[in-house]
Amino acid sequence: MNQYVLEVSNLNKSFGKKHVLKDVSFKVKPHEIVGFIGPNGAGKSTTMKCICNLIFPDSGSIKVNGYDLSKDRENALASQSALIESPGLYMDMTGRENIMLIAGLRRISKERVEEICTFTELKDALNRRVSGYSMGMKQRLALGIAIMNKPKLLILDEPSNGLDPTGIIHLRSTLEHLMAAEEIAILFSSHQLGEVEKLADRIICINEGRMIEPPSALNEQFSYIFQVSDQAKAKALGQTIFTDEKIRLIGDDSLRIVLGNHEQLDEIIGLFQKSNIKLVDVQKDVMDVEAIYKEVYGTL
């Protein structure tokens, strides 16, 4: 497995005299959901379009699943899928016809096609024309088509645009399911800061075409709260893996641990179970994205 599913290095892009991207660099690990935030015009969509090969950077490099986009375009693009702006669907065709068209072009197996039909949760609506779909239905269909070839990276530009609250909640659960079940890394941009807060494992920031050093609050992005049957014993076990400053007691039965990565979550849970410490509850310590946004950009 490659250490990174996406490596963007020193990306530059100008449109005429306007320098839109200025040495943009960041990485995304496998099985990671990364929120890409910044004000309008910051360079989010341009960066994503460069990754998808929809526009070409003036300089810099992009690797997807280890493949250099400029030198091994076919493999790099085969390793990713994207939804940029509105879902690109054929409105005069049914949902199933949209799926079958792309499946034929990509030589997708019948079994995978049926998996995707089930994934969309559209059921009988798959036999109706897409022009009659709600935005949420179009989004589910487009997501299904995007993951049909089992990409390693999924890029989503403002995926919650046009969705009602129910659609946003469903989208969130769908993306979490995708990351786990399909083993997909997800890079998504959004102005819905509440959704970024609930979904992202990590946040990267851009402003005026430059990547910005994340504020100190983001250093605790893998922070989890563990409610346990034996707080003292759990803390002692935690100290065999983590330094004291990474562990903080909360109340009489919980402790907050700042992890280095997702793998350490499995490690600490396994350690508790082997030591007969009952885990009453485990929850992610949600970061305050609005506060972070204000700290970085000075406004909302």
Q: Are residues 2 and 75 in the same domain?
A: yes
Q: Exposed, middle or buried, 298 (CB in 10 Å: 0-12/13-18/19+)? A: exposed
Note whether residue 84 is domain-resident. Answer: no
**Residues 161 and 67 reside in one and the same domain:** yes
Instruction: Please check whether residue 291 lies inside any domain of the structure.
Output: no
On whether residue 224 sits in a domain, the answer given is yes
Work out how many domains the chain is built from and give that number. Answer: 3
For residues 68 and 173, membership in a common domain is answered with yes
Q: Looking at the structure, do residues 121 and 266 belong to the same domain, yes or no?
A: no
One domain, residues 134 and 241: no
The CA R_g of the chain, rounded to the nearest whole Å, is 21
Mean pLDDT of the chain: 87
Q: Is residue 296 part of a domain?
A: no
Show which of 108, 126, 143 is a domain's final residue: 143
Q: What percent of the chain has pLDDT over 70?
A: 89
| 194 and 278 co-located in one domain | no
Q: Is residue 55 part of a domain?
A: yes
Range ranked top by mean pLDDT from 57-71, 134-148, 210-224? 57-71
Q: What is the pLDDT of residue 213?
A: 76
161-196 confidence digits (pLDDT tens)? 777 777 777 887 888 888 778 889 999 998 766 667
| CATH code: domain of residue 225 | 3.30.70
The CATH number of residue 19's host domain is 3.40.50.300
193 with 249, same domain?
no
Q: Are residues 16 and 66 in the same domain?
A: yes
- Give yes or no for residue 242 having a pLDDT over 90: no
One domain, residues 24 and 68: yes
Asked whether residue 85 is domain-assigned, the answer is no
Any domain includes 299: no
Q: Return the structure tokens found at 270.
A: 């396994």
Asked if the structure places residue 267 within a domain, the reply is yes
Q: Is residue 286 very low, low, confident or very high in pLDDT (cuts 50, 70, 90)?
A: low
Residue 217's pLDDT band, with cuts at 50, 70 and 90, is: low
**Do residues 58 and 104 both lie within one domain?**
no
Tell whether 112 and 223 lie within a shared domain: no
What would the pLDDT profile of 99-150 be if each residue is shown by its tens digit? 999 999 989 999 999 999 999 999 999 999 999 999 889 989 999 999 999 9
β-pairing verdict for 153-157 and 80-83: parallel
Supply the pLDDT for residue 1: 59
pTM value > 0.85: no
11 and 111 fall within a common domain? no
Given 143, 160, 183, which residue is the final one in a domain?
A: 143
The residue segments making up the domain with residue 282 are: 218-286
